[in-house]
Amino acid sequence: MPMTEQEVFEKVRETLVDALGVDDEEVTPEATLTGDLGAESIDFLDIVFRLEKAFDIKIPRGELFPDNVLNNPEFVQDGKLTETGLSQLKERMPHADFSEFEKDPDVNKMAELFKVQTIVNYVKGKLG
Amino acid sequence: MRWIWIDKFVEFEPGKRAVAIKNVSLAEEHIHDHWEAYPIHPACLLIEGMAQTAGILVGQARDFREKVILAKVTRAEFEDVVTPGDQVTFEAAIESIAAEAAATRGTVLCNGQPLGRVDLMFSHIDQNLAGVEFPEENFVFTGQFERLVGPLLEPRNG
């Protein structure tokens, strides 16, 4: 039987509590991984490992958390994502909500795209 | 002389599991400052001992080609203290391993009795996601760590 969104959210929450050492209450759908939950780069890898195990899915490198965007000069100029960069990122992250970010695509604000809901959307997409 | 906090490997299953021991001695200089009235092997060095056991296990899984660096202490809990004359056993197992990183689970015993748990994450820094470059020469595996595990990797004769 396929998992409901609530079931996926609860399992994702458990994963984040284990990986980041935060409390259940802190893990809300809108909570950002780096800003609200204090995740660092190594934590992103830990999260990927745990999600793979918890949901029995394979997460190819760069699919959940895209890499090689910030160091590409075609995608970033003067600290902001270019048109090309933004559309590339949107293509690679159909699981993220860009409505706020695209108003001011500042590179320093990119971390805000990675919310708990982003992960829930990605996992739901993988589970089909 | 390098910073080495395990004495000997006693079991080694490449890619899976490793067990190493460390004998705590009053002859170790640091223990006289930690503390003079009550010498205790520092918990941070118990974590380091596990990091070396697990790190060598992870490194050997990729033939010591990667620069394996301790990146995260996911969990470190100890129930008691370790004092001179004790023998600590570190049992480490690889939980996941990928191109960029590895995660290990581990238990620590003191004189054969459960002492604690240490779970770690290692980064293969040459494969880091940020694209940072490091010197080519492997400054992590310079020979000393490999010599520790060498005898257990040799094929048995007869």
Domain boundaries, position B41: 8-142
Amino acid B89 reads T
Looking at residue B24, what DSSP letter applies? -
B101-110 and A76-77: which strand pairing?
Answer: unpaired
Host domain of residue A25: 5-127
In a domain, B153, yes or no: no
The answer to whether residue B151 sits within a structural domain is: no
> Is residue B152 in a domain?
no
Cα dihedral: B8, B11, B12, B18 (round 10): -80
Distance CA B141, CA B67 (A): 7
B103 φ/ψ sector (left φ>0, alpha ψ -120 to 50, else beta): beta
Question: Domain for residue B116, yes or no?
Answer: yes
pLDDT of A117 strictly over 60: yes
- Largest Cα–Cα separation, chain B: 52
CB contacts < 8 Å between A and B, how many?
36
User: Cβ A45–B131 below 8 Å, yes or no?
Assistant: no
The verdict on A19 touching B (C-beta cutoff 8 Å) is yes
Please report, for the domain that includes residue B15, its CATH number.
Answer: 3.10.129.10
Q: How many domains, chain A?
A: 1
Is B98–A61 a contact, with Cβ atoms under 8 angstroms apart? yes
Least confident of A17-26, A100-109, B53-62, B125-134: B125-134
ipTM, interface predicted TM-score of the complex: 0.75
CB contact (8 A) between residue B101 and residue A61: no
pLDDT tens for chain B, 158 residues long, are 578 999 999 999 999 999 999 999 999 999 999 999 999 999 999 999 999 999 999 999 999 999 999 999 999 999 999 999 999 999 999 999 988 899 999 999 999 999 999 999 999 988 876 678 888 888 888 888 888 998 998 775 54
Nearest chain A Cα distance for residue B135, angstroms? 20
CATH at residue A48: 1.10.1200.10
Interchain pair A68, B98: CB under 8 A = no
DSSP A32: B
pLDDT at B96 (0 to 100): 92
* Contact status of A63 with chain B (Cβ, < 8 Å): no
- Tell me the shortest Cα–Cα distance from A16 to chain B, in angstroms: 12
Residue A21 corresponds to which amino acid?
G
Whole-number pLDDT of residue A107: 84
Identity of the residue numbered B40: I
The C-alpha of A113 sits at a distance from chain B's nearest C-alpha, in angstroms, of 18
| Predicted local confidence at residue B156, as pLDDT | 59
Domain count, chain B: 1
Cα B35 from Cα B47, distance rounded (Å): 19
Cα A87 from Cα A20, distance rounded (Å): 31
Distance from C-alpha of B152 to C-alpha of B52, rounded to nearest angstrom: 16
